[in-house]
Amino acid sequence: MKRWLDAGLAAAGLIGFALPMAWIAFRIRRESGRPVLFHQARVGRNGRRFIVHKFRSMTADGTTTYGKKLRGSAMDELPQLINILRGEMSFVGPRPLIPEELEKLDRIPNGERRLELRPGLAGLAQLRCAKVPHLPERLRWDLIYLERLSLGLDLWILLQSVGVTLRRAWEPAGPGKGR
């Protein structure tokens, strides 16, 4: 059922956000040229690799002026609706790993269990420890999510994530500092 909800909501989101996404693409191209999208290899469910899509917010010189606005509003993440529609991601789940982090999972107790889940746009770890760079802390929250998996928890995570996004409060927190 979750997969059907993800696909339906992603399709509706792509249609509903088509004009804002076109405007974002125009603004990026006008400010910093091509490419408009940023593509990066990530690791998903069962260790399968896929390419995640985001609006480009940086150049070789750093984050662009418009890129800061995109990141602050999380609008740079909108192209990931394509990943959700394809079944590579879900709206809710642990954030997709970069390939270098996959090796670290083997050294953490129960780390491989994280790969049982489809990665998500929003997750419990993001709400509890924001952008803590320490994989073990993020993994702890991902495993709690796995143990308590339910449609109700997914809805709670989505609503909380929308609230954080509207407040533009996705700043990194220190290790162990929750939201």
Domain ranges for the chain: 2-166
**Host H or E run for residue 144:** helix 135-147
Checking if the pLDDT of 149 tops 80, the result is: yes
Mean pLDDT (the chain) is 88
Q: How confident is the model at residue 85 (pLDDT cuts 50, 70, 90)?
A: very high
Please state, in angstroms and rounded to a whole number, the distance separating the CA atoms of residues 172 and 69: 16
Please state the rounded mean pLDDT for residues 74-99.
Answer: 94
Question: What is the radius of gyration, based on Cα positions, of the chain?
Answer: 16
pTM for this model (two decimals): 0.86
CB atoms within 10 A of CB 138: 24
Question: Which range has the worst mean pLDDT, 29-43, 108-122, 130-144, 149-163?
Answer: 130-144
Question: Which range has the worst mean pLDDT, 89-93, 114-118, 167-171?
Answer: 167-171
Q: How confident is the model at residue 170 (pLDDT cuts 50, 70, 90)?
A: low
Checking if the pLDDT of 169 tops 70, the result is: no
Query: Do residues 50 and 88 touch, judged by C-beta distance below 8 A?
Result: yes
Checking if the pLDDT of 173 tops 50, the result is: no
Please state, in angstroms and rounded to a whole number, the distance separating the CA atoms of residues 161 and 110: 26
Query: What pLDDT does 178 receive?
Result: 36
